[in-house]
Every structure is written in structure tokens, then in C-alpha cells.
Structure 1
Amino acid sequence: MISKLCNKIFEEAIKDYHIHNNIDQPIENPYPTTKIEHLLYLKCWIDTVQWHMEDVVRNPEINPVEGLQWKRRIDASNQERTDVVEYIDSYFLEEYKHIQPKANARINSESPAWVVDRLSILALKVYHMKEETVRADATEEHRELCTQKLNILLNQQTDLSTSLDELIQDIENGSKYMKVYKQMKMYNDPNLNPVLYNPNNG
């Protein structure tokens, strides 16, 4: 099942990142570029790096100039994340292009890759919440509260994994069909962001 593969690779990418725990640590993707595993690992690595950039930029003592630099890195990361999601959807489109949808086939509210995106973020939440449940410098009350939150996250992970597998199954049997909308983000596009194409009106 696709969710099992996703969750396995996401755990691997997060674990690999935390060996060095360094935002600027170069990625060493162990999977061939022709495989879906490569995209899944890349996706979660981007999310993991961005998770830690978001931590840094929320420091209330951060220098405003440095904070702006981090914000721009986060914007660039968001664009990269979106691009990889679209690559993953392209993989699914190619994988199931031979499937003839049934006459009553329905479209899903989100594409498979955006469910994968949510699973990747969820894997990060699970990892970091687990850390909080064993934090030596935290109170027992804190650890207990985080354990309760972790159980909710794990339940959510199970439900979302099931939803992804069911969506793929529905696509495979023609009950649902894929229709991918490019995100068309505007804020990084110099032709679409008014502040970029006409700075005097910013």
C-alpha cells in the first residue's frame, strides 16, 4: 500500500536529517531519481528543513534583518515543496493513465500528492511530539500532555493513511479520477505579484 511506503520513507528522511540536525546539511537521497521513493524522500526532507527554519524565525529575539532573510528562505522552500508535490502527482497521472474511469466516476477534493503532503507534515509532528514525551528538562505534566497529543496524531496518521490508500484504490478501479490543478502560486512570480512588477504600488 502506498501509505506504508510513504510513512516508511518519511520516517527515514526525518531520522537522516536529525543525524546532523543542521538546516544547511546537504540532502543525500538514497533512492534513484526514476523512482517514486526519490520524490517521497525529497518531499519530506524539504518539509523537515522548513520545519526547523520555521522554528528559527519564530524566535522573539531574532534580529529583524535576519528574520527577513529566513522568511525569504521559507518562501523559496514553500515553492520547492509545491513543485515536488506536483511532480508526485505527475507520477500518479502517468501510473494510472491507462485506467478508464467509470461513467459515474467522481473527482476527489484533493489529489493523491496533496494527501501525501499532509502525511509528510504529520510524520514530522509525530517525530517532534515523541521528543516532547521524553524531554528530561520538562515537567511530568508536560510529558503527559504531549503523550495525549501524540496519541491523537498517531490516530490521525492511521486515518489519513487509510484515506490515501482508499483514494488510490478508487483511482485504480475507476471509481474516482485524477484532475490536477497546478497551484499557480503568485507571490514568487514577478509577473503576478504587484509589489514585484510595480514596486511603487507596494
Structure 2
Amino acid sequence: MMISEKASRIFEQVIENYHIFDSIDCPFQNPYPDHTLEYLLYRKCWIDTMQWHMEDEVRDPDIEPIVGLEWKRRIDESNQLRTDTVEVIDSYFLRYFSHVSPRKDARINTESPAWALDRLSILCLKIYHMRQETEKRDALPTHVASCMEKLMTLLRQHEDLCRSIDELLEDIRTGRKYMKVYKQMKMYNDAALNPVLYAARK
């Protein structure tokens, strides 16, 4: 099974499992063994799925400012967890391909495998929720038709992205491309780098 197919199946599993409870605070239960790629992919999409619904909540036009701030801080925390998990997945691929000697003409890719999988996780969420819109029985036909057209575009995008991910991993495996991962270094979350945070410590 290609990595993109495995990842897509896990992401779809996560989204289905989340919607059994359909609650941002439902317990996280990862069915895969620790330290496996499957575990990391499941965790990654779980974070994305929780954050997807947090983003819905914070856009309530009637939200109380203090509640909106609480959601914003939870989203910031989730974003950091998302980034940290992506970097762990890239570390997995770095170890996995550590035996490969890149060719002299090997090139680096614009994004790492894990960040491409991050995009795939979000795309699976878009597909799930867009499909839901096409199945609404009380929706206007124009709404359903519009959402169906968008769903078809998302499905084509999914196919293209899966192919690109598998081609990238094959290129790394054969030495045509090589991995070089830079940590995101989110300065606004770092108390030593965000001027508001380090000023507050004085």
C-alpha cells in the first residue's frame, strides 16, 4: 500500500471516529501502537479535526469576547501541537531514509513529506464536510449543486496530492531528491522571542 493511501485511510478513520462523539473535548484514543507512523498520522489528523471544529466555534458572530479569546488560545495551542507532530513525522522519514545516498544531481523539494501529509489531512477534512453539505435534505438545490461541484474539485485535488506525495517519497528512496527539514520556530509562542511575552516577565 502506498503511503498516501495508508494516510488517507487513517485520516478518514480519525474523522469518522471523531464524529461518533462530535465533541471537541471527546477523549483521544489512538488505536495504533506508539512510535509507529500510523500512530503519528492518527494523532496528526486528530489534532486537525479538533482544530477544524474550534475554528467553527470562534467564528460565531455572537460570541462573547472572553469566550472568543479562550477559543483563540486553544487554537494557538493546537497549532503548536500540529507543528510539533509534523516535525516528529518528518523525523520518522529522516530515519527511514537515512541509508539512502542522494545522487550528485539530487534536488530538495519545496516541502517535506510530513508537511505534504499535513495538507492531505486537511484535505480529507474538507472532503468529509463538503460531502455532508451535499447530503443535506433541507438545503436548497442551488446549495447542493454548488457544494457538489466543490466536492468534485476536492476529490481531484486529493488524487493529485496523493500522487505527488508518493512520487516525492519514491524520489527520496531512489536518491533523486533528498530531505532537509527546518523546524518552524514559531516565535510568537516562544517566551524568549515574542517581545510581549518577554516584556511580561520583567
Tell me the equivalent position of 1:196: 197
TM-score (norm 2): 0.98
Tell me the equivalent position of 1:168: 169
- Please give the residue correspondences for 1:67-78 in structure 2 after superposition, counting only pairs within 5 Å: 67-78=68-79
Q: How many Å apart are 1:39 and its aligned residue? A: 0.3
Q: How many Å apart are 1:199 and its aligned residue? A: 3.9
Percent identical: 61
Runs (5+) with no aligned partner, structure 2: none
Question: Runs of 4+ in structure 1 displaced over 4 angstroms?
Answer: none
- Cα offsets for 1:134-191 (capped at 9, x unmatched): 1122101100100000000000000000000000000000000000000000111111
- Please give the residue correspondences for 1:9-24 in structure 2 after superposition, counting only pairs within 5 Å: 9-24=10-25
- Cα offsets for 1:67-123 (capped at 9, x unmatched): 000000000000000000000000000000000000000000000000000000000
Determine whether 1:35 maps to 2:26.
no
User: What secondary structure sits across from 1:187 in the alignment?
Assistant: helix
Q: How many Å apart are 1:131 and its aligned residue? A: 0.2
Tell me the equivalent position of 1:109: 110
Alpha-carbon distance between aligned partners in 2 of 1:171 and 1:160, rounded to the nearest angstrom = 17
- Please give the residue correspondences for 1:22-171 in structure 2 after superposition, counting only pairs within 5 Å: 22-171=23-172
Say which is worse superposed, 6-15 or 135-144, in terms of deviation: 135-144
Q: How many Å apart are 1:34 and its aligned residue? A: 2.2
Alpha-carbon distance between aligned partners in 2 of 1:22 and 1:70, rounded to the nearest angstrom = 14
Matching residue's letter, 1:6: A
Runs (5+) with no aligned partner, structure 1: none
After superposition, the CA RMSD in angstroms is 0.9
Q: How many residues align?
A: 200
Matching residue's letter, 1:23: I
Matching residue's letter, 2:123: L
